[in-house]
Amino acid sequence: MINMAFCWLILLGRAVQKLVFGELRVSEQQQLRDKFWNFVFYKFIFVFGIINVQYIDEVLLWCSWFALLGFLHLLSQLSKDRFEYLSFSPRTPFWSHVKLMALLAAIFALSGFMLLVSVFVGFFGGFNTFAFMSAEVVLLAIRTLHIIIRYALHLYDIRQESATAMNTSDEGKAWEKRGPISYYTELSFELTALIIDLIHHLHMLLWSNIFLSMASLVICMQLRYLFHEIQRKNYLWVRNHLEQNYPMATTEELQNNSDNCAICWEKMDSARKLPCTHLFHNTCLLSWLEQDTSCPTCRMALNIQTPSPTQMEPPELQADPQENTRRPFNHFFHFDGSRYVSWLPSFSVEVSHIQAIRQNHVTASNSQLDAMARQVQTLFPHIPLSVIIDDLRVTRSVELTIENVLDGRLVAPPIFRDLDINQQTSRPLTLLQSNAEPSTTRNWDEFSTDNVETEDTVMLGSRFSKSSSEREKILHRRKENMIQMARRRYIEKQKAAAAAAARSDLQS
């Protein structure tokens, strides 16, 4: 009987796999196997070590219970992997989304049912049995629900994307809201899963003292995760900081700035402005500042690491005291502890924007100055670095220096200008040479199809197809073309070199 039940389970598993996933990828198989053995091993220890069952039918009951659970666990894990994989691809058929969602919903429903069963059993078997049985089920349910919600968010996202073509203003708002929502769901799900896991383990620990070392090891690992999770909370106050210190850009500023957001490369309908006048989407900026506290464009360090009480004051532009700004511009994780110690007397000042920039830059370190100088130099390569740095020392702002250059207040010394002219004249020459070379030596008969192919590349290069298979094909053709061209050029050069060598041989 039991054997048959297991057989049916396996068959069912196969069927579901065929139906929903089709062929499994190698990495998925690998992970599935790992998970499976892990689960079996773990539950084996649980059944014999912790509950210490005596009778064979009890063992059988536990085993079948866990087999069913493990099966569902594996399925949910698999669908999570598959979901992550699908989210990597822009062209997923609608149907596979439906199938995956249906499977997830089924798993969720089944876990709810199993929870009911465990309540029922627990009613007769006592609290401990219930707790042991239900813990895993609840975990399963939570994980599944988590995946479902993530999936739903992702689908919503994709829909939004296709909707953007029609109306852009709506999307901006939805996007703004989506960031915090996804963050909170992520956080709450992971936290509840971890807490339940923790309670489960603690329970096991109390129940049996035999496997103390083993279980406590696992618990320690869980605790570490929990700790890590809670550390992520600084997201919250990065956001607060952002909202209080950096104003939203006005509509005029947005209109003047025609660029897209530099982080996601999408249009900005609303944006937040950093003290260095760079604009970004609110959510994009937030997720970057979580990992690094500098402006993505100009690397200006932001003084996020000082959540001083003065932030409760009206949201004017704040200039922190200079002692604070001297700190290293590292991850703000390290400043979590010190932020209670460093309640240095901050003052809030109302200043115009340019002054704020200057104030913030007073303590800019040398490396920052260097970086700024390099930035200016990429715009104006004819001006030597030293001149730029000198000017930056005075202006303390990339923008002001660039303005100086544009207004002609900052010019390159004459030597450099000469050099620049030389470079400019020499560049077209080399270009000409490289262009001329192939055309003069193109009378090798094997390359007679040359002209057709070059035309082809021009056409290929200036098109971005809507259909992905066509894109793939074009990319492939372009790559092959490039290798062919390089080959041809190389052979020609070799022949030319050989000919030149032969000529010089003849002459001598």
Partner 1 sequence: MAGSALRRLMAEYKQLTLNPPEGIIAGPINEENFFEWEALITGPEGTCFEGGVFPAKLIFPPDYPLSPPKMQFTCEMFHPNIYSDGRVCISILHAPGDDPMGYESSAERWSPVQSVEKILLSVVSMLAEPNDESGANVDAAKMWRENREEFNNIAEKIVRRTLGIPT
- Which spans of this chain sit near partner 1 (rule: CB under 8 A)? 84-85, 87-91, 154, 157-158, 161, 182, 262-266, 284, 287-288, 291-292, 294, 296-297, 299, 329-331, 367-368, 370-371, 374, 430, 434, 461-464, 468-469, 471-472, 474-475, 478-479, 482-483, 486-487, 489-491, 493
* Nearest distance in Å: CB 440, partner 1: 17
CA distance 232 to 187: 9
Nearer to partner 1, 265 or 340 (CB): 265
Nearer to partner 1, 153 or 356 (CB): 153
Taking the CB of residue 368, how many other CB atoms lie within 10 A of it? 18
115 Cα distance to chain centroid: 36
Please give the angle made by the CA atoms of 303, 327 and 325, to the nearest 5 degrees.
Answer: 45
CA distance 266 to 279: 12
* Nearest distance in Å: CB 141, partner 1: 24
The one-character DSSP state at 248 is B
Task: Show the tokens assigned to 279.
Answer: 């604009």
* Nearest distance in Å: CB 147, partner 1: 14
Nearer to partner 1, 430 or 504 (CB): 430
* Nearest distance in Å: CB 175, partner 1: 9
* Nearest distance in Å: CB 300, partner 1: 10
* Nearest distance in Å: CB 318, partner 1: 24
* Nearest distance in Å: CB 143, partner 1: 18
Nearer to partner 1, 34 or 84 (CB): 84
Nearer to partner 1, 226 or 263 (CB): 263
Alpha helices in 246-295 (DSSP H): 251-256, 282-291
Nearer to partner 1, 211 or 288 (CB): 288
* Nearest distance in Å: CB 493, partner 1: 7
Nearer to partner 1, 334 or 417 (CB): 334
Answer whether 43's CB lies under 8 Å from 65's CB.
Answer: no
CA distance 351 to 361: 14
Tokens 């609840």 correspond to what residue? 138
CA distance 164 to 308: 40
Beta strands in 258-366 (DSSP E): 272-273, 279-280, 318-319, 347-348
Nearer to partner 1, 317 or 372 (CB): 372
Please give the angle made by the CA atoms of 88, 89 and 94, to the nearest 5 degrees.
Answer: 120
Taking the CB of residue 211, how many other CB atoms lie within 10 A of it? 17
Residue 74 sits at φ, ψ, to 5 deg, of -60, -45
The HSE-up count of residue 374 (CA atoms within 13 Å, CB side) is 9
* Nearest distance in Å: CB 461, partner 1: 6
Nearer to partner 1, 224 or 427 (CB): 427
What distances in angstroms separate CA 489 from CA 186, 437, 480, 496, one per listed residue? 55, 9, 14, 10
**Torsion sign, CA atoms 396, 402, 407, 413:** positive
